[in-house]
Amino acid sequence: MRSREILDAVERGESFTVTRDGHEIGELIPLRKRRRFVTRSEFAAMSRSAPAIALDRFRPDQEAVVDSALDDPYAR
């Protein structure tokens, strides 16, 4: 197969094992397509299984980890 034929096949979803001197050295596989959104039902399902957040502790924990002065656009 020529390079273009191989790449066309990968674009269609096929995978190839790359060999050198009869030894497998790699794989040529299609990239996974990134989803642009999450459906409402998926979001709801993830939300139900997410850990509870103690809102009274969330902000102090966040401030302890992130130095907001570094990202303040008005401090310049």
Tens digits of residue pLDDT in 41-63: 999 999 999 988 888 888 888 88
pTM of the model: 0.43
Q: Contact 27/16 with Cβ under 8 angstroms?
A: yes
Count CB neighbours of 6 within 10 A: 14
Q: How far apart are CA 73 and CA 29, in angstroms?
A: 43
Q: How confident is the model at residue 17 (pLDDT cuts 50, 70, 90)?
A: very high
Whether 37 shows a pLDDT value over 80: the answer reads yes
Alpha-carbon 39 to chain mean position = 17
In a domain, 7, yes or no: yes
Q: How far apart are CA 45 and CA 39, in angstroms?
A: 10
The total of structural domains in the chain comes to 1
In a domain, 12, yes or no: yes
In a domain, 72, yes or no: no
Which two three-digit tokens encode residue 41? 């039902």
In a domain, 2, yes or no: yes
